[in-house]
Amino acid sequence: MPGQGDQAQSAGGWATSKKCRIVNAALNGKPDVKHRAHLEYYWAYAWNGSRRVQVVVVVQNARKTQDGRYDAGRGQKIGVITAYCKGMTKCPNWLNQ
């Protein structure tokens, strides 16, 4: 995921991503949840044969977090915070292949 290294933690467990295709696909659409600068995209799906996984992408579209704990710097935005597979504790390995 952009700017997040290989792993990002979410409430749904660890989402390991070595490929950005699914994250970029979600970000090309409109957010499903928007609360100030906090955006959530739910519509991204990954397919492997007949298996389907819904990927949720969470974005902070602002320089700072709402609590002021993180600051990306002047002229910058934090961006993708995490991406996780909805309804499971870990994304399947095939998602990164």
Tell whether the model's pLDDT for residue 2 goes beyond 60. Answer: no
Phi, psi of 82 (to 5 degrees): -160, 165
What's the whole-number mean pLDDT along residues 24-38?
88
pTM of model > 0.75: no
pLDDT per position as a tens digit, 34-86: 999 999 998 778 888 888 888 899 999 999 998 999 999 999 999 999 888 99
Q: Helix (H) and strand (E) counts for the chain?
A: 1, 6
